[in-house]
Chain A
Amino acid sequence: MFYIFFAKELKAALKQPMIYVFFVLISLLTFGAVVSDHVSIGGSVGNVYKNAPHVISIYTIILSFFGLLTATAFFNNAALRDYANNFDEILFSAPLSKSGYFFGRFFGALILSTIPLLGVFLGIIIGSYLGPIFNWISPDRIGGFQLMTFVKNYFIFILPNMFIAGAIIFGMANKWKSTVISFVGSLLIVIGYIISLNIISDVENESIGALTDIFGLNTYNTQTKYYTVIEKNSLNPSLTGFLLINRIVWLGLSVIILIISFFSFSFHKKNKKEKALKKKIETSNTVFTLPKIQQAYTIRTHWDHFKSFFFINFLSIFKNVTFKILLLFSLIILISNLISGYEYYGLQSYPVTYKIIDTIKGTSFFILIIIVFFSGELIWRDRDYKINEVIDATPHTSLISLVAKTLSLVAIASLLRIFFIICGILYQLGKGYYRIDLNTYIFDFLYVDLSSYFIFSGIMILIQVLCKNKYIGYFISILILFILDTLLFAFDIESNMMYIGGRPNLLFSDMNSFGPSLKRALWFNTYWLLLATICLSIAGLLWNRGKMESLKNRVSVGLKQISTGYKIFFLGIITTWLLVAGFVYYNTQLLNKMPTADEIELSQVDYEKKYKKFEKINLPKLKDINYFVDIFAYKRNVIAKAKATLANESDTAIDSIHFNIHQNWETEILIPDSELILDDKELGYQIYKLNNPLQPNQEIPLEINVKYLTKGFENNNELTSIVANGTFLNNSTVFPTIGYSSGAELSDKNLRKKYGLPKKEIMPKLQANCSTHCMRNYISNGTSDFTCIETVISTANDQIAIAPGTLVKKWIANNRTYFHYQIDHPSLNFVSFVSGKYKIKKRDWNGIALEVYYDQKHPQNVVKMLDAVENSLTYYSENFGPYMHNQCRIIEFPRYSTFAQAFPGTMPYSESLGFIVNLEDEDKNNVVDAVIAHEMAHQWWAHQVIGARMQGATLFSEGFSEYASLMVMKKKSGTPMKMREFLKYNHERYLRGRSGELNKELPIYKVENQQYIHYGKGSVVLYALQDYIGEDKVNTAMRNFLNEFKYKNPPYPTSLDFLEYLEPQVPDSLNYLVTDLLKTITLYDNRIKEATYKKVNNGKYQISMKITAKKIRADSIGVEKNIPINDWIDLGAFGDEDEKSLIFQKRVKITKPEMDFSFEIDTIPAKLAIDPRRLLIDRVYKDNSKTVEEITL
């Protein structure tokens, strides 16, 4: 019996096209991802083989979500087919075995559901063979095959995932006998994933997150997050750790669901509960008479029709079960997002309104689903309920009915949105946050969501009207919504005029409101709203009244019956739309033509091919620079001038000067007695030939005039650095740069290969005693050294304009305010120009003015920021040397970017980074302190000493600044366990970063500007170093190094120079640390295997532990090998389970991979640990501690 139903299930489905369609689709998708870099499934694969086991696993799991669609169809069909066909009564009266029927169908559907996913394997295999043959990708990006990869992925992911999904869907379908409910079941799985994604975003909670993801994508990602390239290329997924638990938990639950479902399944129809009809005997004595009625068909009637249609449609959605379920789901997501908050290093930000809005936007997906689903529902409802003929034969205009349907969709979506906003406001109030920005809620809703709802509804309604049934309509809607983007991108079309509902992202900032994108967003809205209206008018014309007709017939009838009024209206709206489209096109494609991603790539290639030959030419240096910057914030224009001296400090004559001109900046370069001999407008490259070559030690003046004039609006990426409030520019974005810029080259190694470019040297190799390379530092790249800089900057009278340096003069002229700043000490030519409406908080510290320029809405953290500046100044001037400026400023800028940056004495700081973080909980990591301390440290490490443009350069700008910041934190907070909390994030950053490395990992002394190395690893290894050799020793080395190179003209120092200052400070016994921490990639795999204690006679406790310690060396692509260990490592005991109090610590020499230790301590420990403060880099740190067991004698 089982077999009969099982086989029937398979046969029936194999006769239908769906399974083949999805199989082919998945194969094609995977095939595309293998052979092209344009198709990606869950991110690019980088350095890893295109067919690496890790890649296959990721594809498999992600496509499982796609497979969920087919699974839903198969399981739902298996459960409901006989009911849907009203065949149940006939079938169930036959003598059937219940289990045979039930499980036959279930397992039939299960096997079917897994079939489309086998397309992943087919796609991989075909792609890997054909890709190299047809030269789509180079053969060295394809690895070998392991049959096991497929087998394991099938049995670890595909089969269990479909089983789990099936149990849920099949169970729900059997219980509620509704297709809609089955879809709800599959949504549940998607929700599990989304919630898990939220939870997992903080490292703290990843174990819970790994379990909540029903399909195991996050679980697998967590398990493999530190995988190196080699591991990704070779390791198949294995059932261990989280993944094992995840599979067991969910499979177990599914089996339970299936069993419950089986036992509650019955062939007998449930007796429908008949509601006991309360017979209200309303003996109505009313005599009804036929009123004298009048039928009127005027404009007013149309309005009445509209109202009535609207009401009926709205009601039908509102009372719909699916709607209620979707509402519930989105509410769950919203609440889970709100509660998990806005984490950053374990800190939450204040629930400012725009953050809440961002969270609410997390539910947009559901609203979109509601629109798609109910567009079909509303269009097909009359037919489904067989009332269409009556409605269709009434004298209403089709357009009115369709507009009412559309607007009821819009109303439902809006209602949901407003409901979510209310939830958000309640959350804010609940958190004790009262600066509720109602305007922002309202305008964001009006500008963004309301119009989106109308646009999508209008388009979806047309699709449904054109289609023959609603499922085809759904299919096309989904295709358009989700596939169109990918398709357009693949064809290199990047215009919001093509993406349905496309509009620039409106990012609200407390400082700058909706910012510069508002205007063009409104234009794009108009464009799309008109198009949606056109869609509706077409739908009104083609709406099928009465018997279903072919589209062709409908078009011919529609055209025949079109009324003059309709024609005029239609032509009017088309004309308006064309005008708007033309205007938008003019602005975004002609006036502000933005290159597409492919075009940018190509111009990068061109640039390199044409001008790379000039990379090493002799450059003159900029000296004594005067900037004149006029910021017209409200018009978003900037007019600026730079006057400087060009000096030839080399020993050969310079006959020409090269400039990179910025796109969109009108630039005029004035060099006396020179001529422009090359002017490449496309790539922005100019060469001026000096009629009299500049001789060594000779100088000439240079003047550059630039203008940025905002014209109309752009498609995307509006320049957010010039805005009404909070303009923030720096000299290298405003003025042309001198000489060939290797930073503009294409860096992705696979792309370079594709365009036939040689391997890129990201940084010149580290050299001792270097000559030419050390003449340039990595910031100004040879175009200037430490020099005097002055800036005259002007802005509107209600704003303050700031550039680095001391304010020497301020005046008003031409109805504008002018500020004249002078940098106190010759500095790097790295200058910020800022203008905004600021409040200022000042404090004096030993004659240095500490200032915070902030937006009036963000006063919360300002005092804390001043404290942080003071703490940093204290520590750094004691340990490194004096601060060299008379002022120290923090300036807030809008959240279009989220970073802080250090210019001489001046640090612009994003509003979202520190100004809104909630610092009230003193126990938490104070990320604002940390970031300020980091930027402050740059005033020494980068601004006083800067590395030669060579590997390792960022070690002593970024690496040292991270270290310095940790030291400030350590001094302030003190406890070692709190520092471990903080370091955790740096460990994470490093380990994750190296796992995603696209090129090669280098030891830190050769770092090539990789952030995960200089920030992540830098802080970790330098922290460990100071712990082993002493903070003062490290600081002494740094101070001596600084003193030697402070503000010194070239040659600039390299990391090897620093090591010379470090080595005398390191005792011989710890010399190995310099190698392990700085000069190599060294990791540890430390574990504690046994942890026990016993009471001893003297009232003390003896603790014993068995540890394993492995030391691992990795090469640049992640090949690891164990090396002998002979290291000092801490052992410790914690007084509590949470590892908050370290009650005992002892540094021991580990000489063998497995060792036993015992110590006597005063109190009973809770846990014992190896490396309890996490000084060493250990990929799996969790196993470094263990709860003790008592040994009783």
Chain B
Amino acid sequence: MHKLKIENLAKTYPNNVKALNNISIEITNGMFGLLGPNGAGKSSLMRTLATLQKADSGSITLNDIDVINQPEALRKVLGYLPQEFGVYPRITAAQLLDHLAILKGITNSKKRKELVNYLLDKVNLYEKRNKSVKGFSGGMKQRVGIAQALIGNPSLIIVDEPTAGLDPSERNRFYNLLAEVGEEVIVILSTHIVDDVRELCTKMAIMNLGNIVYQGSPQHAINDLDGKIYQKIVSRDNLKEYANNYTLISNKMVGGQPLIHIYSETNPYEGFEQVKPNLEDVFFSKINTQNALV
């Protein structure tokens, strides 16, 4: 059982933005979802975990590795897919993976070749292995990125917004792949797509403005909201009024008119209809504490 322990991690950027505000989490084997809107500090946290950014204070340990002071040791057991993953021009997918496999200490060239082929097959790129990666579509590049994150036997895999640019079938494929490896290692999946977390993760955290605003299992969070979410289709002109009078969680357009979700301990009537809460409601209720229109 691997154990990642983050304690009081803090980082303030020179422009006084608090990217990480004394964050503490403990993560063990399995898929861990990190949800949060853009700018919540997810990527800062991911990069700090991946030894690519220094924190101001706090500590991170993976098993007995002190991540902050022994970055080399962590890198040996890390698989990382950053938010933005590009590739070298004029180098083939196989060459790139081979290079990265060497960097990850796989010295036996025969084994390395087998591994590269295996991974390329896993991400459905085996047939394009000798094509220059530059000509790949965004989704194909992302698949190369996923393949490289799985090289070696990482005990910590960090994937930052991995499904951006993937079509639904590729996404499923990717999730299966992650789920496959995720049983024995820690996988941290950072995303702002709620469905990703719902489908994959047994544990999750929601981040907003540098803080962890929720930590636990998705189902538990949904259960907490059970019977407290109401929806109503309203006219656009009245939106503001509803925002003032109710704890507005979200609004989205349905058939050209705003459909609003509100949080309420009791039935507000007024045409509101109780709905079964979903993770999205959890997400919005956790981050939308200012009761603003989102």
Contacts and interface: CB of A to CB of B under 8 A. Distances in A.
Contact of A546 (B52, B69, B81, B103): B52
Given A304-B102, A389-B80, A395-B72, A315 B52 contact: no
B85 A387 contact: yes
A295 B106 contact: yes
B148 interface: yes
Interface string A377-411: 00001000111011111111000000000000000
B127 interface: yes
Interface stretch (B24-32, B108-116, B195-203, B260-268): B108-116
Contacts of B236: none
B276 interface: no
A296 interface: yes
Nearest to A297: B105
A403 to B, nearest CB: 15
B87 A385 contact: yes
Interface string B228-250: 00000000000000000000000
B105 A301 contact: yes
Interface string B17-51: 00000000000000000000000000000010011
A391 B149 CA distance: 11
Interface stretch (A183-191, A282-290, A484-492, A812-820): A282-290
B58 to A, nearest CB: 16
B82 A395 contact: no
A391 B151 CA distance: 13
B88 interface: yes
Nearest to B95: A312
A294 B52 contact: no
B105 A386 contact: no
A391 B103 contact: yes
Given A293-B115, A295-B76, A546-B47, A392 B86 contact: no
B53 A304 contact: no
Contacts of B106: 293-295
A17 B106 CA distance: 50
Contacts of A300: 107
Contact of A308 (B51, B80, B102): B102
B82 A389 contact: yes
B166 to A, nearest CB: 17
Interface in B160-212: none
Given A301-B107, A395-B105, A547-B52, A385 B78 contact: no
A255 interface: no
Contacts of A309: 99
Contact of B86 (A282, A288, A385): A385
B8 interface: no
A617 B282 CA distance: 110
Nearest to A313: B88
A288 B80 contact: no
B132 to A, nearest CB: 10
B75 interface: yes
B80 A282 contact: no
A74 to B, nearest CB: 28
Nearest to A318: B90
A296 to B, nearest CB: 5
A462 B264 CA distance: 61
B100 interface: yes
- Dominant SS at the A interface? loop
Interface in A350-401: 381, 385-387, 389-396
A547 B118 contact: no
B118 A289 contact: yes
A293 B153 contact: yes
A553 B87 contact: no
A396 B53 CA distance: 17
Nearest to A563: B72
Interface string B96-138: 0011101111111001101101100110001100000001000
A395 B75 CA distance: 5
A999 B106 CA distance: 75
A545 interface: yes
B84 interface: yes
User: In the complex, which of the residues B86, B89, B121 has the most CB atoms of chain A within 10 Å of its own CB atom?
Assistant: B86
A395 B76 contact: yes
Contact of B148 (A308, A381, A390, A553): A390
Contacts of B218: none
B50 A393 contact: yes
Given A387-B85, A389-B50, A393-B50, A308 B108 contact: no
A557 interface: yes
B277 interface: no
A830 B194 CA distance: 99
B91 interface: yes
B52 A288 contact: no
Contacts of A315: 90-91
B220 interface: no
Contacts of B115: 290-291, 293
Given A295-B152, A385-B88, A312 B50 contact: no
Contact of B53 (A305, A307, A387, A546): A546
B252 interface: no
A549 interface: yes
A162 B152 CA distance: 57
Nearest to B79: A393
User: In the complex, which of the residues A282, A289, A293, A547 has the most CB atoms of chain B within 10 Å of its own CB atom?
Assistant: A293
Given A288-B117, A290-B118, A387-B86, A392 B52 contact: yes
B215 to A, nearest CB: 25
Contact of A386 (B78, B85, B126, B153): B85
A238 to B, nearest CB: 52
Contact of A297 (B76, B84, B91): B76
Contact of B88 (A307, A387, A546): A387
A308 B99 contact: yes
B105 A288 contact: no
Nearest to B70: A561
B103 A395 contact: yes
A561 B73 CA distance: 13
Contact of B103 (A311, A319, A381, A396): A396
A545 B108 contact: no
A280 interface: yes
A291 B152 CA distance: 10
Closest 4 CB pairs of A and B: A546-B52, A386-B86, A395-B75, A389-B82
Given A280-B127, A394-B103, 13 more contacts: A291-B111, A293-B153, A304-B107, A312-B88, A316-B89, A389-B84, A395-B72, A395-B103, A395-B105, A546-B50, A547-B47, A547-B53, A561-B69
11 contacts: A292-B111, A295-B76, A295-B104, A296-B105, A297-B76, A304-B102, A309-B99, A316-B90, A387-B87, A394-B104, A396-B103
Interface of A: 275, 280, 282, 284, 286, 288-297, 300-301, 304-305, 307-309, 311-312, 315-316, 319, 381, 385-387, 389-396, 545-547, 549, 553, 557, 561
